[in-house]
Amino acid sequence: MPDGWPNQLKIEVKTSRDNQHKLSDRDLAGIRPDGYTAVLIGGRVHHGPRWILLPASLLTPGGFSESTLSQLGEGVQPDLCDRINLIWSDWILDESVWRKVFEQHHMELQAALDWCLQNHSARRNQSTGNVREGRLADALSRFRNDLDRFVGSNGAQQEGFVHQRILGHALQRLGYRLTSNPIGVPDILAVWAGRDETATSKTLRRQLQEWMPESEESARLRNVLLSFSDDALQALHRVLRPPEDD
């Protein structure tokens, strides 16, 4: 597990479309004393859209502006947040993936979303920085429009659930195992389970397939790597991955 990542995560998820977030006693009771509230910051001026994690110990019940919350979230689990945001934003940016959810008119939203998350991986989007944030804001806006059309009403409420699922999915990708939570508080209960090596090799293979080499030499390297077995790819990943992944 990367340094500083919590072994267990209790997360209450908060999303909003008006940049105001309300925290109730019940919300906080479910994550105290060492849990987090994951808040989806939407405002571009606060580097949104992005997720921040707020320790329950810093929070009191009440209504809060994004400005306040984003200041509170400064420096809280920065690495974990970056990883979550990368996976989450890739998913939001890959419209070809999430449109599949809204094409499943015969399914309930939850089922369609779970099906999509299990069967379709989002492509790694190469955009970075403020350009990526802008793209993400536009993509999130389109996602919300499609979501509203799909659910007919309560789009904003449903969105919280959708993001909760994607957040859970991101945590799984990062090596956490989600525990089912029948009472609904907190929204996510996750325990560190280590890397899913099979997933790693699949991810590597997909990334190699999506890689567009800039030179013939790189193209040859990609073809050689693609010819490797999953075990070989996993071994290669273990050798090459950054130290903090260990």
Partner 1 sequence: MSAWQLQKVQVKNLLGFQGLKEQHFQPRIQVIEAPNHTGKTSLTMALLWGLTGIIPELPRINRHSFRLSNKHAGTDAEQFCVIELVNDSNSRMAIKRLYRGARADLDAELTVELDDKILSGQDAQMRILEELNVKPDSLEGCGVVLQDHRLGFITGKESDISDVISDMLGLTVLSRFVPTLEERLKEVKELQKEITNYLEAADPLKKWEERDQQLRDDFLQRENEAIEAGFAREDLENPATTAVRELAQIAASLKAPPAQPGRPIPDEIKRLRDHLATLRKSSPLGVELAELQGRKGQLSPWVEKAVSLRDAYRDFNERLAAEDGAGELDTKRLTDTIAEKETALQKNQERRDELASEKGLLTNAYSHMQSHQNLRACPVCDSPIKASDLLKKLKNRVEDQIASELSRLKEQQKTLSEEKDGAESRLKAVNRLKDKHGQLFAEISSFHTQVQGEPFCWKKKFEIDSLFLDADSRTKLVAVLESVAEQLNEGLRVVTDELKQKKAQIEQQEAEQYQPAEAQITCVSEKLLPVMDAAQKIENHGKKRDRAAQRKTELEQLQEDARTLAGQLQKIASALAQQEEETASAAIRARLPDISEFFRSVARNPDYDGLDIQTNISRDRVTYKIQATSSAIGNLNDTVGHVLSEGDLSAASMALLLGLASGESHHLGFLVLDDPAQGMDETLQANLAAAIVKFGKPKQVVIFTHQQSFAEALKQAGAHHSRIHSWKMGKVQDA
Give the span between the Cα atoms of 70 and 54, in whole angstroms. Answer: 9
Stretch that binds partner 1, among 78-86, 189-197, 213-221, 223-231 (CB under 8 A): 213-221
Give the span between the Cα atoms of 164 and 186, in whole angstroms. Answer: 11
When asked if residue 134 is in the footprint of partner 1 (CB under 8 A), the reply is yes
When asked if residue 138 is in the footprint of partner 1 (CB under 8 A), the reply is yes
17, 22, 26, 47: which one binds partner 1 (CB under 8 A): 47
Q: Give the Cα-Cα-Cα angle 243, 34, 192 (nearest 5 degrees).
A: 40
Give min distance, CB of 71 to partner 1, in A: 10
How many other β-carbons are positioned within 10 Å of the β-carbon of residue 145?
Answer: 12
Give min distance, CB of 244 to partner 1, in A: 24
Contact 205, 218 (CB under 8 A): no
Q: Considering only residues 69-128, where is the footprint of partner 1 by CB under 8 A?
A: 123, 125-128
Q: Write out the two tokens for 163.
A: 């993001």
Tokens 């560190």 correspond to 192
1, 72, 100, 133: which one binds partner 1 (CB under 8 A): 133
Q: Residue 146: which of 155, 134, 136, 135 has the closest Cα? A: 155
When asked if residue 44 is in the footprint of partner 1 (CB under 8 A), the reply is yes
Burial label, 60 (beta-carbon count in 10 A; 0-12, 13-18, 19+): exposed
Stretch that binds partner 1, among 6-14, 24-32, 132-140, 199-207 (CB under 8 A): 132-140
Nearer to partner 1, 183 or 212 (CB): 212
Contact footprint for partner 1 (CB under 8 A): 44-47, 123, 125-131, 133-134, 138, 212-216
